[in-house]
């Protein structure tokens, strides 16, 4: 490719249905790509530059270009993935750049390159889940990903269940949170942290079984249990998020809710009866994203 030629890339945000703080320990997770996209246009240039509505985006762009061994680029970013809303806008940006510059790349390799780029750009030792979901998620499915082997299986996700992501309004850059500390504690085998990891992995399996049986109430129970474990054993929730989870869980049509993503504030995931989402929007009175599953940037048409 000539470095001056213009390239375009597009990648979705993601949700994580269940399997939190287990990706970097080689556990199994169940994310899905969702229908909010970042689009990037770029071309080789004498200097790095970015025109973007995503804050701090240039560090990510440079880091992923470095991983792909690409020199300075001028990039323009158009984002439908609200920043700080829990939909992993940073993974979507990284994957969009990778897809634009290396459209033929293997999706797994692209996800790994984007994970390394995120680690370098932020200093946070993130797992591969977010980048993987943005690269290889599928419309109509959740992705059951084994983070030890990067093998994955598609698990059909029902249209009647709405995926809602509610911004808690409590935002902290991941680098300013104890994320790396939690990772070290778990890697060192701290019993309380490991109790979360083992119970969460069991919940991922139970969640997949419930999805296959279309037992939506069971999905909700597992979300509640996941939240309690993230709150009490992994200690990544906050009183504000706990209250929001309680509030959301009690809304008619809601199967269950939990803190989603890294935590320490951030966002809440809720699963609801698709015909009853207005209740949620009316009750929480804050930014809510009602999402559907979508194709990842490296999914090839069959």
- What the block records as the tokens of 145 is 């990903």
DSSP secondary structure letters along 96-111? HHHHHH-TTS-HHHHH
Stretch of 1-9, 18-26, 49-57, 238-246 contacting ligand GLA, by CB under 6 A = 18-26
For residue 285, with 0-12 CB atoms within 10 Å meaning exposed, 13-18 middle and 19 or more buried, which class applies? Answer: exposed
Residue the block writes with tokens 């309380």:
192
Query: Given its phi and psi angles, is residue 112 left (phi above 0), alpha (psi -120 to 50 degrees) or beta?
Result: alpha
Regarding 261 and contact with ligand GLA (CB under 6 A), the answer is yes
Stretch of 16-24, 49-57, 96-104, 220-228 contacting ligand GLA, by CB under 6 A = 16-24
81: how many CB neighbours lie within 10 A of its CB? 26
Regarding 145 and contact with ligand GLA (CB under 6 A), the answer is no
Q: Which is nearer to ligand GLA, 92 or 251 (CB)?
A: 92
- What the block records as the tokens of 178 is 């104890």
Q: Which is nearer to ligand GLA, 38 or 70 (CB)?
A: 38
Regarding 20 and contact with ligand GLA (CB under 6 A), the answer is yes
140: how many CB neighbours lie within 10 A of its CB? 14
Q: Which is nearer to ligand GLA, 129 or 163 (CB)?
A: 129
Q: Is residue 130 annotated as a catalytic residue, yes or no?
A: yes
Sheet holding 267-273, edge to edge: 254-260, 267-273, 161-167, 288-291
Q: Which is nearer to ligand GLA, 27 or 220 (CB)?
A: 27
Regarding 31 and contact with ligand GLA (CB under 6 A), the answer is no
Q: By CB under 6 A, name the one of 127, 137, 256, 265 that touches ligand GLA.
A: 127
Q: Which residue in the shown chain puts its C-beta closest to ligand GLA?
A: 127
Catalytic residue among 23, 130, 167, 233: 130
For residue 287, with 0-12 CB atoms within 10 Å meaning exposed, 13-18 middle and 19 or more buried, which class applies? Answer: middle
Stretch of 19-27, 61-69, 212-220, 292-300 contacting ligand GLA, by CB under 6 A = 19-27
d(CA 266, CA 233): 18
β-strand pairing of 7-18 with 28-44: antiparallel
- Minimum CB separation of residue 76 from ligand GLA in Å reads 25
Stretch of 42-50, 125-133, 134-142, 163-171 contacting ligand GLA, by CB under 6 A = 125-133
Regarding 233 and contact with ligand GLA (CB under 6 A), the answer is no
As annotated, the active-site residues are: 130
Residues that bind ligand GLA (CB under 6 A): 20-21, 23-24, 126-127, 129-130, 261-262
């Amino acid at each position: 490719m000539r470095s001056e030629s213009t390239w375009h890339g597009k990648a979705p945000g993601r949700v994580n249905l269940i399997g939190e703080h287990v990706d970097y320990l080689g556990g199994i997770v169940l994310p899905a790509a969702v229908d909010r996209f970042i689009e990037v246009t770029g071309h080789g240039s004498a200097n790095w530059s970015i025109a973007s509505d995503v804050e701090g985006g240039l560090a990510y762009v440079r880091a992923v270009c470095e991983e792909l061994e690409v020199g300075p680029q001028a990039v323009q970013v158009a984002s439908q993935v609200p920043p700080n809303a829990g939909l992993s806008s940073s993974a979507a940006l990284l994957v969009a750049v990778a897809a634009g510059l290396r459209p033929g790349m293997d999706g797994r390799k692209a996800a790994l390159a984007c994970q390394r780029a995120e680690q370098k750009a932020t200093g946070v030792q993130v797992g591969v889940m977010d980048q993987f979901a943005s690269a290889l998620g599928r419309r109509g499915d959740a992705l059951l990903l084994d983070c030890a082997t990067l093998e994955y299986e598609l698990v059909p996700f029902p249209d009647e269940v709405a995926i809602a992501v509610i911004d808690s309004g409590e935002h902290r850059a991941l680098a300013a949170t104890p994320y790396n500390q939690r990772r070290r504690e778990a890697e060192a085998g701290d019993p309380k942290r490991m109790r979360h990891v083992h119970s969460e992995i069991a919940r991922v399996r139970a969640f997949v079984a419930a999805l296959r049986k279309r037992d939506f109430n069971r999905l909700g129970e597992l979300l509640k249990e996941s939240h309690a474990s993230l709150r009490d054993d992994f200690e990544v929730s906050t009183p504000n998020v706990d209250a929001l989870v309680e509030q959301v869980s009690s809304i008619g049509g809601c199967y269950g809710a939990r803190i989603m993503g890294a935590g320490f504030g951030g966002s809440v995931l809720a699963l609801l009866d698709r015909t009853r989402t207005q209740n949620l929007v009316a009750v929480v009175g804050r930014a809510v994203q009602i999402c559907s599953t979508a194709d990842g940037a490296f999914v090839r048409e069959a």
